[in-house]
Structure 1
Amino acid sequence: MMERMYLVVTMLLFGCLSASAQDSTRANILKEVEVVRPTYQREAGKLIMHIAGNKLFKTAANAMDVLKKLPGLEVGGDGSLLLSGRITPGIFINGKPQTMSAGELQQYLNNLSPELIAAIEVINNPSSQYDGEYKGIINIKLKPDITLGWKGMISASLQQNQYRQADNNLLLTYKSKKLAYTARLGYTTGTTIRRYYALQHLANTNIMATNTQMLTNNNNYSAQLGVEYAINKDQQLEVLLRTSHLNCTTNSFNTLHTTDSLAKEVLFNTSSNNNADPVQHNYAANLNYTARWGKTQLQVLTSLATIGNQQTEDIQNKNTLTNQLQEYWLTNMKNDIFIRTAQVDLSGELGKGKWRAGVKLALTTTRNELHYDTLSTANLFVTDSNRTNNFQYDEHITAGYITYERKLNKFNLIAGLRAEHTHSIGNAVTLSQVTKRNYLTWLPSLTVTFDITPNQQLHVSVSRRITRPTFPILNPFRFYFSPLNYWVGNPLLLPSKTSALTLSYSQKAFTVTVNMGREKDPMTRYPEYNPTTNILEYLGRNLPYNDFAGIETSAPVVVTKWWRMSNTLAGYYKKEQTPYHGVTYTIPITWFTVSGSQVFSLPRDFTFEVYYYYSSPNGDGLYFGRPLSYIDLSLQRSWLKGRLNTKVNYNDILNTYRVQRIFREKSIIDNRFTHWFGIRRAILTVSYSFGRSTYKGRQINKNEEENRAGM
């Protein structure tokens, strides 16, 4: 009876029953609607979503398309991931960290075929077993090894909006009794578009409009080779080599159009052309070893990674009314990061329970140089000492943890304690500013799962996590949005610490999750406006605290044999203590999101899907955010006994996805801005599987430090 009540409520929430027909149709719907085999499953603090063979995901173009359907996970227009309205999750593959720079991660997820994914696990509140940096985890489980032999998959995806982009991938695997080889090649070419618009009422009552259009031409490729050697049935050695190269040219055109307070007389009109060539070269090697002796298991993970970023810019600012050159800058930026990690985990049984313990060492070195040259009145380029900078950062993290798991009747308990010691030195050479940090952090966790019935489960978890500043946000360099708008890093930022409580209830496919907590010293950016120069800069700092809470509920159902649907409803709350210009703002902010998909099985084995997303107005202590929404359409069909798969996706069909923010205190800054990411596009994806084995190689294993190094 309770199951049926949940289904009726879900149908009512998402418009499947009209109010006038509610009484007359309820009986018929209850007869026809059945719960699908658990698309969602709760297990030891994890929400597991089954992907393989699930019709709800047949039309997904790639792994990123799959991720946006996870309960509580939002995929931004720029490819960013946000879990439970506030967390940037760590990405794992087969239980191992899969962290990398933002661009490399997006390329990987956009090129990973849904056909290779068995299930995805969502961990909202990780235990002490995991690095303290992870406040949330998305674990993508690939389909397991099945037979000996070789197999391959080739896929191509073509995207079209105002511009065109193509993603091409080749996967080859071979498995014998002792050895398994995996090779993956990826290539992306084409252009993406992004726009930024801002409107600002200046201190002298003039009105300034900023328009920026950014075109990025991609010529990116990646390669990965993995070898697994089964020494014997209880020991395995794994070597993983990977490289990725992001070669881009970015053309940004910006205008600053200023009028009087009545928006009638043009006072000045400035245009800016910024031609840049950002390049990133990544190399990594992993050596992993696993062994088992009876009920004891050992795992050793080691990695070396280098991330190299280089970028030159040619920036010219002109007076559009007179075509006179006002400023001419040349920049040269170099950023090199070297990461070394080693981790040892040991697990076994003790009494009627299981124990696990481990240690980890992570060493990170980063070197950053930014050189500005400005055209002088003598028509010569000279060094701009105000913006030229050199920043060096070294960080050593030593960590250890222990957990114990015990089952008592219907209760399953996992208690853990983790300690992380951090030693870091940030040296802003040009500013003659050295910042040293040396601190020890204790991170306890407790998880309790209660099996009410075989189909009902209650889960409670509490934990403490730490978030260290990312390497770019510490970097005191200027990065420009427009000639009068830029952001600057802050090497004095402190790490934040989060204490969180998660409650969840599941009954078959129906799930409800509640989370709440407080983050101390959260990191944020805030605007500072100079009314004399009209420069608006965004600076980094720590806030005193951020209280948060959220509730998420989801239920996939089968309406008829040809109609399936899955819907998620979530509500969020946060309250930041934000000191700003002598006033402390503590504004409670609430918002909700609605997302879901309607999947229809059509004649001739076609599958059609409508996906929708809506977020109500939100924001933070200083900014008010406008609503956000979009609708996607998808059509899929398989051919040649499933070997050939074709998909057509039309994303954001109404072109409504825009991130808009308005500054709350207009007496300080009367400013509003909009980001448009050009996600409205048509996508054609074709993939073909060949060979005589279904072996799927393990994916690359990276670590938390590489994610924090991402630019």
Structure 2
Amino acid sequence: MKKIIMLLLWGSFAGYSQEVSLSGKVINGSNQAVPFADALLLQTKDSVSYKETQTNESGEFRFSGITKGDYLLKVKTVGFEEYFKKITIQKDTVLGILSLKEISNNLDGVTITTKKPIVKRLTDRLEFAVENSSLSSNNAWEILSKTPSVTTSSTGAISIRGSQSILVTINDKKIYLSGEELKQFLENTSGEEVKSIEVITNPPAKYEAQGSAVLNIKLKKNLSLGYKGSVNTAYIQSIYPKGVASTNQFYKGKKLSLAGRYGFGAGVYVNEGTDVVHYLKEDGSIDSRWESIMRRKSKSLQQHSYRLQASYEIDSLNTISAGGTGFIAPKQMGDFTVPTFIYGSNGALDSLYVTRNNRRTPLRNNAYNMSFDHLFNAKEKISVTADYTAYWHQERQDIASEFSLPEESPYRTTRFISDNVQDIQLFSAQTDYSNEKNGTFEAGLKFGNVQAKSNLDYKDEINGDFVNNPNRTSLFLYDESILAGYTSYDKEFGKWSLKAGLRGEYTSLRGNSVTTFEVNEQHYFKLFPTIYGLYKPADGHEIGISYGKRIARPQYSRLNPFRSYYNSYSYFTGDPKLLPTISHNLSLLYTLKNKYNFDLFYRLEKDPSMEISYQDYETNMLVYHFTNIKKDFAFGLEFNTNLTLYDFWESGIQAGLSYVEDSFQGRDGNLHKNGKPTYNTSISNHFVLNKKKELTAELNFQYNSSSVQGTFVFSQTSNLSASIRKKIWKSNGEIYAILSDIYRGEKEKVATDYADQYNYFLSYGDTQSIRVGFKYNFGNQKLENKKKEGQTEEQQRL
């Protein structure tokens, strides 16, 4: 085997010695970089394409593995005249700057304002480039739902390849919003702010090892001198109305750059569902059936989101930045009335109780950051960053239940109030060094600390007074520190691109359940290797392999062992002894013609933590318990592409076929397996409806087959959505309408069925809606890049 590997490596180096490279940078007439332009290297004898590539976000392109000879370079992109240049290549060649000429009068007055989104395969990730694309008019959540390999749900859940252990970052900064909070934040974020979304299934060593995959949302940076801004507003009608409005402001001077965004949202949210629990006899027949009808109506009257960033260029080598991101919802409330019907073994109604839950759930999440970047030269730099996050969430509940027999007045009432406050403080500091002189070498150190406090005050009503219940009152303290270091190296060898890294993390944590005197301490050091290889055997073909080891630490609130009651017979509880999840990810990749992407993957997770449900027969309690199960594994094949079917029709297609299996210990003490094959597909269509390309439409369809997670089996879901958009006022404004979940295909059934456990719930998350909106851009939208003065040639190529 070693001889075979050495022979392959020797062959690749031998081929490399006969091959050379060609690189350059593409700009426009205003000296701005032209990203994602098509660069083609043609054979001069017959003008047949020899190699193809695209410019990156800095306008740079590179061909490697070129046989020496004469060629014709062709560069083309929408809105510019095609560029041609004859080249004789005998050695590694740097062309320098290539300037494209803009088409002043396209197609008799046609204004081309967008391009199609691009799926780009990089060595260690998949990049979905959406800047200035047909998706820019969507909000960030809608763009995320159209991203290859990503699955979203109406509750805000995000999964990649069936795993929900996802680290979500914005501009490589971790955000501490989850579920519905993250969904609301991204819905209030305009798609015009999004540059690209990176799906990193095997994150490199630079990223912290948390999460089975990283989803990085890259927001735009203002690269031009001057001022510009925009306002956006939308009205959404689902079961009840909602509204959002936001403004973006950008200013860039010769030294100082400022960017700000503020968004406001308000509305009424509804979740409809039915909970069904079967209690069984020893022979498996039904002893009793409990059915709860839920319609949870919540008001969120003030959703404030903001993003502020300031950057000051001290000189051409040193830059300092500071900023903040926040999501504040001070007025979130709900008043739910839930009837529960209890049927006997004969199917007749035995008794019932009605629960009223009045709750208040205000939220504050503010994150602040500072950074300093120093360039030693054009290819060597160091960055120092510090981040601080303050998260505060309160859940106040007033729950009353009335118990009665059929058609009779209540014979018993109960009432309790609870006040659960979570206060989490997070701090991290990191130093990163990179050197691109001979390949790319990266190294860094990071320290992070988390201090969390969860205080649950629980009181029962007794004879008209509220009396503290010490058995359900709790105080939970959590302290975690992580010290990490990493190093990685990548380099191109002819047709090969290789990258390898190693990250080490030492974790020290202490969970203290003060009320029960239960303390959980863990100290461990783990190594996380990553390796990537990308081979280009011929023009239009790329073959890759990647492996990564990851860790998923539980959310701080999931470590709290005390009970959060939904009603008198249902509660949620955490586990202070939760173990971290270790996952191994292996992928085999193939890309055809820079357009068709195939990904064969395998994932193994040890001790994954997740929510499971079980029935306690002694108390008739339905318990939702966040705990570790034994293992999870999945394997499958994914495919995605973006096609231009006609001049007026673009289509993004993705599909996946996989098998997922979870192993867990049941309430009966036995080991159970829950697994099944799953299938998902998504088709996003963009249509241009008039000659000036000012009227566009979209038609999108998603389908997810039945799937599993822990003890749960999820039913199939689908979603059909459509939209229409019209540019107005010389394309500075836009009006639009979006229809979502047209036939309510997002309705879902989630069931647990093993041994003597049988329960399920039906859920609909108010996903059917119509959104009408308006956007307007003001200021100078055609700002020119500032001229770099006093810089070396190497610095100008940064």
Correspondence 1:284-303 to 2 at 5 A: 284-294=367-377, 295-303=379-387
Correspondence 1:370-409 to 2 at 5 A: 370-376=456-462, 378-409=463-494
Shift of residue 694 of structure 1? 6.1
Matched, 1:196 2:281: no
Per the alignment, residue 18 of structure 1 pairs with none
Are the counterparts in 2 of residues 443 and 465 from structure 1 also a CA contact under 8 Å?
yes
Are the counterparts in 1 of residues 201 and 213 from structure 2 also a CA contact under 8 Å?
yes
Counterpart among 241, 245, 249 of residue 172 in structure 1: 249
Give the distance between the partners of 1:300 and 1:325, measured in 2 at CA: 63
Change (3 A) 1:226 1:621: closer
Letter of the structure 2 residue corresponding to residue 116 of structure 1: E
Letter of the structure 2 residue corresponding to residue 135 of structure 1: S
Per the alignment, residue 45 of structure 1 pairs with 124
Shift of residue 676 of structure 1? 1.4
Any idea what SS the aligned residue of 1:664 has?
Answer: strand
Are the counterparts in 2 of residues 173 and 695 from structure 1 also a CA contact under 8 Å?
no
Give the distance between the partners of 1:618 and 1:103, measured in 2 at CA: 21
Gaps of 5+ in 2: 1-48, 50-114, 282-286, 785-798
Any idea what SS the aligned residue of 2:184 has?
Answer: helix
Are the counterparts in 1 of residues 116 and 133 from structure 2 also a CA contact under 8 Å?
no
Are the counterparts in 1 of residues 117 and 133 from structure 2 also a CA contact under 8 Å?
no
Per the alignment, residue 253 of structure 1 pairs with 337
Map Cα deviations across residues 180-200 of structure 1 (whole Å, 9 max, x no partner): 112221111111111231112
Give the distance between the partners of 1:175 and 1:259, measured in 2 at CA: 68
Using the TM superposition, name which of 278-287 and 361-370 deviates more: 278-287
Per the alignment, residue 655 of structure 1 pairs with 744
Shift of residue 147 of structure 1? 2.2
Give the distance between the partners of 1:395 and 1:135, measured in 2 at CA: 20
Are the counterparts in 2 of residues 198 and 672 from structure 1 also a CA contact under 8 Å?
yes
Letter of the structure 1 residue corresponding to residue 235 of structure 2: L
Q: Which has the larger radius of gyration?
A: 2
Shift of residue 311 of structure 1? 2.6
Per the alignment, residue 421 of structure 1 pairs with 506
Are the counterparts in 2 of residues 317 and 327 from structure 1 also a CA contact under 8 Å?
yes
Shift of residue 625 of structure 1? 2.4
Query: TM-score, length-normalised on structure 2?
Result: 0.79
Correspondence 1:44-443 to 2 at 5 A: 44-55=123-134, 57=135, 60-203=137-280, 205-218=287-300, 219-247=302-330, 248-263=332-347, 265-294=348-377, 295-319=379-403, 321-323=408-410, 326-349=413-436, 352-376=438-462, 378-443=463-528
Shift of residue 242 of structure 1? 3.8
Counterpart among 710, 725, 732 of residue 643 in structure 1: 732
Shift of residue 436 of structure 1? 0.3
Any idea what SS the aligned residue of 1:109 has?
Answer: helix
Counterpart among 706, 710, 715 of residue 626 in structure 1: 715
Change (3 A) 1:541 1:281: closer
Return the structure number with greater relative CO, CA threshold 8 A, min gap 6: 1
Shift of residue 349 of structure 1? 4.1
Map Cα deviations across residues 456-482 of structure 1 (whole Å, 9 max, x no partner): 211111111111111111111222333
Counterpart among 700, 718, 730 of residue 611 in structure 1: 700
Letter of the structure 1 residue corresponding to residue 312 of structure 2: Y
Using the TM superposition, name which of 157-166 and 306-315 deviates more: 306-315
Per the alignment, residue 71 of structure 2 pairs with none
Give the distance between the partners of 1:650 and 1:566, measured in 2 at CA: 19
Change (3 A) 1:292 1:408: same
Change (3 A) 1:62 1:196: same
Any idea what SS the aligned residue of 2:557 has?
Answer: helix
Any idea what SS the aligned residue of 1:250 has?
Answer: strand
Map Cα deviations across residues 283-322 of structure 1 (whole Å, 9 max, x no partner): 3321111111023211111012211122321111113641
Letter of the structure 2 residue corresponding to residue 586 of structure 1: K
RMSD: 2.1
Size of the alignment, in residue pairs? 656
Per the alignment, residue 98 of structure 2 pairs with none
Shift of residue 695 of structure 1? 7.6
Shift of residue 69 of structure 1? 1.1
Are the counterparts in 2 of residues 619 and 661 from structure 1 also a CA contact under 8 Å?
no
Correspondence 1:482-631 to 2 at 5 A: 482-507=567-592, 508-580=594-666, 581-603=668-690, 605-620=694-709, 622-631=711-720
Are the counterparts in 1 of residues 612 and 712 from structure 2 also a CA contact under 8 Å?
no
Per the alignment, residue 12 of structure 1 pairs with none
Shift of residue 587 of structure 1? 4.1
Give the distance between the partners of 1:239 and 1:694, measured in 2 at CA: 26
Shift of residue 509 of structure 1? 1.4
Map Cα deviations across residues 599-656 of structure 1 (whole Å, 9 max, x no partner): 3222373222221111122224533322111211111111112211122111111012
Give the distance between the partners of 2:390 and 2:304, measured in 1 at CA: 16
Map Cα deviations across residues 27-64 of structure 1 (whole Å, 9 max, x no partner): xxxxxxxxx97821212222122213433x26x53111
Letter of the structure 2 residue corresponding to residue 677 of structure 1: G
Are the counterparts in 2 of residues 316 and 325 from structure 1 also a CA contact under 8 Å?
no
Change (3 A) 1:385 1:94: closer
Change (3 A) 1:122 1:339: same
Give the distance between the partners of 1:453 and 1:647, measured in 2 at CA: 44
Give the distance between the partners of 2:412 and 2:325, measured in 1 at CA: 45
Per the alignment, residue 549 of structure 2 pairs with 464
Using the TM superposition, name which of 311-320 and 184-193 deviates more: 311-320
Letter of the structure 1 residue corresponding to residue 498 of structure 2: L
Letter of the structure 2 residue corresponding to residue 42 of structure 1: R
Any idea what SS the aligned residue of 2:182 has?
Answer: helix
Per the alignment, residue 31 of structure 2 pairs with none
Change (3 A) 1:694 1:359: farther
Give the distance between the partners of 1:123 and 1:677, measured in 2 at CA: 29
Shift of residue 685 of structure 1? 2.0
Map Cα deviations across residues 106-137 of structure 1 (whole Å, 9 max, x no partner): 23311222223232222111111110004222
Any idea what SS the aligned residue of 1:526 has?
Answer: strand
Are the counterparts in 2 of residues 445 and 463 from structure 1 also a CA contact under 8 Å?
yes
Any idea what SS the aligned residue of 1:224 has?
Answer: strand
Give the distance between the partners of 1:224 and 1:598, measured in 2 at CA: 31
Change (3 A) 1:144 1:408: same
Map Cα deviations across residues 447-502 of structure 1 (whole Å, 9 max, x no partner): 11112334221111111111111111111122233331221000001101111111
